[in-house]
Amino acid sequence: MKQTAASLALFTLLAAGCTNGDPSMNDTNRPTPPVAARKPHTLTAHGHERNDEYYWMRLTEEQRNAAEPDAHTREVIAHLNAENAYSDAMLAPVKQLREDLFKEMKARIKETDLSVPYREHGYWYHYRFEEGKEYAVHVRRKDVPDAKDEDFLNENLLAEGHSYFDLGDFEISPSNQLVGYSVDRVGRRQYEIRFRDLATGKDLPDVITNTGGGCAFADDRTVFYPRKDKTLRSYRIYRHVLGTDPATDVVVYEEKDPAYSCDVFRSQSDQFVIITTESTLSSEHRYLPVAHPMEEFRLFLPREEEHEHTVMHVKAHNGVPGKWYIVTNWEAQNFRLMECAESDTQDKRKWKEVLPHRTEVLLEDVDAFRDHLVFSERKEGLTHLRIRRLSDGHEHEIRFNDPAYVAYTGTNPEWDTDKLRYGYTSLTTPSGVYEHDLNAATDVLLKQQEVLGTFNAADYASERVWVPARDGVKVPVSLVYRKGTKRDASAPLLLYGYGSYGHSIDPTFSSGRLSLLDRGFVFAIAHIRGGEEMGREWYESGKMEHKLNTFTDFIDCADHLVKERYADPKRVFCMGGSAGGLLVGAVVNMRPELWKAAVAEVPFVDVVTTMLDDSIPLTTGEFDEWGDPKEKEAYDRMLSYSPYDNVKDASYPAMLVTTGFHDSQVQYWEPAKWVARLRDHQQGDAPILLHTNMEAGHGGASGRFERLKEVALIYAFLMEQAGLVK
């Protein structure tokens, strides 16, 4: 289902694909895939019956976490382990290649490294990586002469003894004396919050479990946090007083609508704690002065259907009263910026327009400073950073030259500054952190990702092309390849896509991807409808009743790249993850002959069954994206493209499907069932493989090196299928 930050981070590492056939083995020595038991199970809705012979693969949360697994659990785990053994056997000929690729990609990473420090509340914060270590060490230094670095969170120590580890977030208390931090050691995104005394380095006895991962201090004793329900929806905000039993924590807000999830944060002005609750298409906010943490939260604006907005508070200064900024889609499909007095939040007639709506520009975000506003905008599929000086209205834009790139504002916690931190990367440019003078409009490169070895950006080229879709719409595609790769229809091409939730897949640099490009691959990103690259309408024309556009756009992009000779027509690969895995599943059903192979990571493929089951995490919050199949029209529409329900007798391409046993976004049984059904209907001899990480969730393996092993798995499979393995 929805692809979150952790799973999206893998995109910068991955970008692999696969292919038809298995040239390294003949029929006499080829391993035999496991055969899943078929157990009839009838699902009925709207008078329509579906037989799901692999429904039995589901396990409840209790079964998955039981100290002593029952017979059913043992059967499921045995099947997943058998699938892993089969995949290992099929990939045995490229075992050495996997190891070599891992070493190759790891060798490009500077193991001992430092991030760029940022200043907040009198301290400089950064993190460092140490040679051979998987995780970061978080460091701060007081902003005074001769101050020494203080390590305050060492993720490597926190991860000891655990096969998976994720530091969800950390927040420093107002006095700078405490840090609240959250950890997940399973991969289920159920975070445990602890608090550390920064003077002693010791944790306080307070431990809060089953949280959403974030927290917000009102003062050094009072902290607010979200907790999850049985479907892993953040549904309540609690108030905790340090030193008290978390069992006595008070619920300050409960979101009763199952389509909404809530979170809490401290405003940049440091004057309010803000609760935000959101569904796919609506949002609502409440705020509480930090000086009065025991009072009730105040409603910013009553909830309105399909009104999405974010709020930012600006404190009073130099005789100017405090106010709120609101990024809103109220009468503005592509969003606009409004402002209002602190007391006028609930009367939109008193809101004042700061930046108007524009049909050709999507307003994605705003950063507010004392005398400047920075607008993050998207136009013709590319990101733009535009600065407005408030004292005189003067504007300028930061200019970028790559044909396909992404620019974004970075960590900017301090409001009273005329410096902006921003990041920049492209398909050929390693990510860099810049400091932009908001008045002089000048830039200083503070740090750029170092790629060790022989990397030279000049050896690679990127392009941006516009593909005519079958209905006449032009779809942007970003491409990268090593110079010297001929455009003569001889190169293997990997096409990556997502196309859901209005999430834009940006053309970022990946040092791991060099292993593909150096072997002759062309890599392309299809910015298909369902994303938001071309504005809000681009998203809306790729969802609900328009979802088919997502799939046909992707196919049209592949056909166009073949026609324009970027790709060998016999070596076209596709890849996507999560909702992008749904994309992969749909296009291999629609055009199985088009793809040499497909990679589907943690794929959302059992659309109808999942969306009918509101006990599964995230389902109820997804109705505005996919529809509610309890309504017949939505049921019929989703059934028409659901990959699992549309498997047919066909010569499917070679496929590598990945999942995580603890995945909270797309349950492991969706890809497991899908693979079993695909094999039942496979008319060709291309292998269909399932790899389950039994110790991870939606984002795959944790650790900066461990996750490279998953990348190497995909790349080795891809290269073998492309005929590049001798």
Q: Which of 418, 451, 484 corresponds to the end of one domain?
A: 451
Does the pLDDT value for residue 1 go beyond 50?
no
**Structural domain includes residue 61:** no
Does the pLDDT value for residue 97 go beyond 90?
yes
pLDDT at position 189? 86
CATH number of the domain encompassing residue 699:
3.40.50.1820
What are 162-197's pLDDT values in tens digits? Answer: 988 999 999 999 999 999 999 999 888 899 999 999
Angle among Cα 697, 703, 709 to the nearest 5 degrees reads 80
Shared-domain flag, residues 9 and 101 = yes
Shared-domain flag, residues 491 and 447 = no
Long-range contacts (CB closer than 8 Å, 24 or more residues apart) made by 545-551: 545/637, 547/626, 547/637, 547/641, 548/641, 549/469, 549/471, 550/499, 550/500, 550/583, 550/586, 551/583, 551/586, 551/587, 551/590, 551/641
**Structural domain includes residue 162:** no
Q: Which two tokens stand for residue 200?
A: 């002693």
Q: Which two tokens stand for residue 539?
A: 């998203």
Give the residue from 192, 105, 95 showing the smallest Cα distance to 517. 105
pLDDT at position 346? 96
Region of residue 505 (phi > 0: left; psi between -120 and 50: alpha; otherwise: beta):
beta
What beta strand segments (E) does 34-117 contain?
42-45, 48-51, 113-114
Query: Distance from CA of residue 355 to its chain's centroid?
Result: 29
Does the pLDDT value for residue 612 go beyond 80?
yes
Shared-domain flag, residues 402 and 523 = no
For residues 608-634, give the mean pLDDT.
89
pLDDT band at 19 (very low <50, low <70, confident <90, very high): very low
The one catalytic residue among 553, 664, 698, 702: 698
Shared-domain flag, residues 88 and 14 = yes
Does the pLDDT value for residue 276 go beyond 70?
yes
Q: State the Cα–Cα distance between residues 582 and 598, nearest whole angstrom.
A: 12
pLDDT band at 28 (very low <50, low <70, confident <90, very high): low
Shared-domain flag, residues 431 and 529 = no
Note down the domain range covering 442: 360-451
Q: State the Cα–Cα distance between residues 401 and 104, nearest whole angstrom.
A: 30
523 contacts: CB under 8 Å, gap ≥ 6: 15, 427, 479, 480, 481, 493, 494, 496, 513, 516, 517
Shared-domain flag, residues 407 and 468 = no
For residues 542-562, give the mean pLDDT.
98
Start-to-end C-alpha separation, the chain:
38
- Number of Cβ within 10 Å of residue 380's Cβ equals 14
Shared-domain flag, residues 445 and 514 = no
Q: State the Cα–Cα distance between residues 43 and 317, nearest whole angstrom.
A: 62
pLDDT at position 3? 37
Shared-domain flag, residues 571 and 673 = yes
Does the pLDDT value for residue 431 go beyond 70?
yes
| Cα-Cα-Cα-Cα dihedral sign, residues 573, 577, 580, 584 | positive
Q: Please confirm, yes or no, whether 162 is among the known catalytic residues.
A: no
Number of domains in the chain: 2
Burial (CB count within 10 angstroms: exposed 0-12, middle 13-18, buried 19+), residue 726: exposed
Shared-domain flag, residues 487 and 605 = yes
Burial 20-33 (b: 16+ CB within 10 A, else e): bbbebeeeeeebeb
The one catalytic residue among 478, 500, 541, 578: 578
**Structural domain includes residue 445:** yes
Does the pLDDT value for residue 41 go beyond 80?
yes
Model-level pTM?
0.92
> Which residue type sits at 721?
Q
pLDDT at position 537? 97
387 contacts: CB under 8 Å, gap ≥ 6: 372, 373, 374, 375, 395, 396, 397, 398, 420, 436, 438, 441
Q: State the Cα–Cα distance between residues 27 and 377, nearest whole angstrom.
A: 55
Does the pLDDT value for residue 95 go beyond 70?
yes
pLDDT at position 456? 97
Q: Please confirm, yes or no, whether 698 is among the known catalytic residues.
A: yes
Local structure of residue 661 (DSSP, 8 states): T
**Structural domain includes residue 200:** no
Mean pLDDT, the chain, integer: 93
CB of 213 closer than 8 Å to CB of 168: yes
Does the pLDDT value for residue 4 go beyond 50?
no
**Structural domain includes residue 609:** yes
Which residues are registered as beta bridge partners of 373? 368, 388
**Structural domain includes residue 213:** no
User: pLDDT over 70 for what percent of the chain?
Assistant: 96
C-alpha to C-alpha distances, 19 to 99, 459, 721, nearest whole angstrom: 20, 27, 5
What are 371-416's pLDDT values in tens digits? Answer: 999 999 999 999 999 999 999 999 999 999 999 999 999 999 999 9
Q: Which residue has the higher pLDDT, 563 or 12?
A: 563
The one catalytic residue among 166, 663, 664, 691: 663
Q: Which of 429, 451, 473 corresponds to the end of one domain?
A: 451
48 contacts: CB under 8 Å, gap ≥ 6: 635, 639
pLDDT band at 18 (very low <50, low <70, confident <90, very high): very low
Shared-domain flag, residues 426 and 489 = no
pLDDT at position 15? 34
Does the pLDDT value for residue 20 go beyond 50?
no
- Number of Cβ within 10 Å of residue 266's Cβ equals 20
What are 669-694's pLDDT values in tens digits? Answer: 999 999 999 999 999 999 999 999 98
User: pLDDT over 90 for what percent of the chain?
Assistant: 88
pLDDT at position 29? 77
| DSSP H stretches of helix in 108-250 | 155-159
Angle among Cα 513, 709, 723 to the nearest 5 degrees reads 60
**Structural domain includes residue 686:** yes
Q: Which of 385, 420, 451 corresponds to the end of one domain?
A: 451
Q: State the Cα–Cα distance between residues 713 and 504, nearest whole angstrom.
A: 26
Q: Please confirm, yes or no, whether 541 is among the known catalytic residues.
A: no
The edge-to-edge listing of strands for the beta sheet with 443-448 is 405-409, 419-426, 432-437, 443-448
Shared-domain flag, residues 544 and 659 = yes
What are 325-364's pLDDT values in tens digits? Answer: 999 999 999 999 999 999 999 999 999 999 999 999 999 9
C-alpha to C-alpha distances, 569 to 230, 435, 493, nearest whole angstrom: 47, 45, 9
**Structural domain includes residue 218:** no
Does the pLDDT value for residue 91 go beyond 60?
yes
For residues 645-664, give the mean pLDDT.
95
pLDDT band at 26 (very low <50, low <70, confident <90, very high): very low
pLDDT band at 662 (very low <50, low <70, confident <90, very high): confident
What are 219-236's pLDDT values in tens digits? Answer: 999 999 999 998 889 999
pLDDT band at 22 (very low <50, low <70, confident <90, very high): very low
Shared-domain flag, residues 500 and 601 = yes
C-alpha to C-alpha distances, 104 to 392, 453, 454, 491, 596, nearest whole angstrom: 53, 9, 11, 22, 26
Q: State the Cα–Cα distance between residues 710 and 187, nearest whole angstrom.
A: 16
* Least confident segment among 22-26, 264-268, 455-459, 698-702: 22-26
Place of tokens 């008078």: 47
Which residues are registered as beta bridge partners of 479? 463, 524
